[in-house]
Chains A and B, each alone.
Chain A
Amino acid sequence: MERIPILKVGEFLLVSIQVDMHDRLAMSLQDDLTAKLVATRAKGVLIDISSLDMVDSFIGRMLGHMAAMAGALGAKAVVVGMQPAVAITIVELGMALTEVRTALNVDKGMALLQSLVAKSCSMDNHDCHEK
């Protein structure tokens, strides 16, 4: 069965969805991502969906779930490269995905991820100093 590769880039994970998502693939991606997050102790996940040109409510929900799962494991998630048509579809489906952070492309997403991680690190350190 085909799998979506999860690449480790520095302290982040990069998931690039290049094929049409079907539901089984989405479920296995969630398994792989959570396992990899725990194994590598990555601080952030970048989900690139620039090649995804068809979405349904399940895939939309899956994006939200993956971001929430990363959050539960102490990592930040950013979805990048959403196509205009996909964005319109998701909004028309009534899913604003407000809990998901987004960026226009991988470059900007990486910058956003770095700033988010830096912020949370400084907050962690701040907490340590206070103790």
Chain B
Amino acid sequence: MIIMQRVLWIFKGRRLALIGLFWLCLVAVVALIAPLLAPFDPFEINPIMRLSEPGIPYLFGTDHFGRDSFSRSVYGARMAIIIGLGSVSVALIVGGVVGMLSAYFNRLGHFLMRVVDVLMAFPALLLALVLMTLLERSVTNTIIVIGIVYATTTARILFGMTLKLKEEVFIDAAKCAGAGHGALLFRHILPNLISPILVQASFIFAFAQLQAAALDFLGLGLPPEIPSWGNMLSEERIYVTRAPWLLIFPGALIILSVFSMNLVGDVLRDKVDPRFKLDIKGI
């Protein structure tokens, strides 16, 4: 109950973002109870019913194998959450550690940030493609690759912020109080990075969806039989004129989720900071 109240307080006056949050919760719940919701087995092939129009019993229609598009969408939510959380974790842990340590220890930073620079010289998708071609198509590898792609930007952002924080007077004050490297990094610097990290997480979560969809679309992401929104787009793209709903539903799901995550991220950025007291009116 207290958590609910807190969430409502955070989202006070930001109705659109609240709808976004609601949507994300819905996706999460759907992902959790996917087996209960899906009326059909998402892998079950039924050639007789291929390319059925949306209706009863196939709410979103069926694809060219006759698999139920609604069931695949429901399981796709599961994939979306797994890919999102996984990539965010990889990106934040790798990028966070690299960025913070690079800024804190100058010499290490000179070396690590050059590596990051080189990786960032590649366009995100190209880097993901290169890494993916070296690895096998699997869920874990997709997560690792997307995570590493966004770890570079995370490292850059946290590097800059840590560098700035390091110059803050309260860091000097903490040093004078006797704090060592660990205390400075984890008690003084890290908590002040929470809001940029949260914002970054929300954007990575959103972009990971797009990136995963793009990789799936190019046939380099998840194995094709796995029900993900990206795979659904990729598999059915040639039927865009005959059965547009096969693209509209997963496409809409991707857009809604990405948009919602961005809205929620904005609110988090504004509210997580205890210094930020005045409410900004609007969404």
A binds B: no
Interface residues of A (CB under 8 A from B): none
